């Protein structure tokens, strides 16, 4: 049993490895904006929602389902963009790719700059796929609750906290994708 658990964690530690590498090669300002900034934004939006729009659980679930559908669609598009972008960059035989592969990182001389680009795109894809996965599970879970029985019950604080974390993760993946667009732009412009 213990061996099976160990094998499970070993097989699935890629998510943690991707986040560790993302943190390692991100600058302090990038981490501040991507992690702390998005968390503060989601916290402020959630606090505003709690103060002005605190609703019953039934209304919360209905509103969340609508928002979740939009998020799943948008994040799916972003994941597709990041996969296509990394494919373009990885298969390119340009001089800039060769130069990036031969230029060591200042953070870790054992890692080249090309690998850092791949790390950022990989983390974005991992987060986006996790959001899609969790969003689908939450959508199906919310479909099977008898929400009529929650019509008069006010949404508890712990649900708002989970919502703030979910929103923070969604905003985080968007900020990473914006940076990836910038890297792709610079890659294409410097390539010409």
Task: List, in order, residues 6 or more apart from 91 with CB less than 8 Å away.
Answer: none
> Using one digit for the tens of pLDDT, what is the confidence trace for 14-42?
888 888 888 888 888 888 888 899 999 99
Please give the Cα distance from 19 to 26 (Å, whole number): 10
Q: Report the predicted TM-score, pTM, of the whole model to 2 decimal places.
A: 0.83
pLDDT confidence of residue 43 = 92
pLDDT confidence of residue 53 = 73
Per-domain residue ranges of the chain: 32-191
> Using one digit for the tens of pLDDT, what is the confidence trace for 113-149?
888 888 999 999 999 999 999 999 988 887 776 555 5
Q: Which among 124, 123, 116, 127 is positioned nearest to 25, based on CA atoms?
A: 116
Phi, psi of 154 (to 5 degrees): -75, 145
pLDDT confidence of residue 147 = 57
- Residues in a beta bridge with 104: 112
pLDDT confidence of residue 91 = 82
């Amino acid at each position: 049993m213990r061996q099976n658990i160990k094998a499970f964690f070993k097989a699935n530690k890629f998510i943690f490895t991707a986040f560790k590498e993302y943190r390692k090669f991100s600058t302090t300002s990038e981490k501040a904006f991507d992690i702390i900034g998005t968390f503060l934004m989601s916290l402020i939006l959630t606090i505003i929602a709690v103060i002005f729009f605190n609703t019953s659980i039934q209304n919360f679930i209905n509103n969340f389902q609508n928002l979740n559908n939009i998020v799943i669609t948008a994040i799916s598009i972003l994941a597709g963009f990041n996969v296509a972008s990394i494919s373009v960059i990885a298969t390119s035989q340009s001089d800039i790719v060769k130069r990036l592969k031969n230029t060591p990182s200042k953070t870790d001389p054992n890692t080249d700059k090309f690998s850092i680009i791949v790390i950022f795109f990989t983390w974005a894809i991992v987060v986006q796929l996790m959001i899609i996965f969790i969003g689908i599970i939450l959508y199906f879970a919310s479909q099977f609750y008898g929400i009529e029985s929650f019509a008069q019950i006010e949404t508890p604080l712990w649900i708002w906290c989970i919502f703030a974390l979910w929103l923070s993760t969604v905003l985080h993946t968007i900020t990473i994708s914006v940076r990836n667009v910038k890297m792709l732009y610079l890659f294409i412009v410097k390539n010409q």
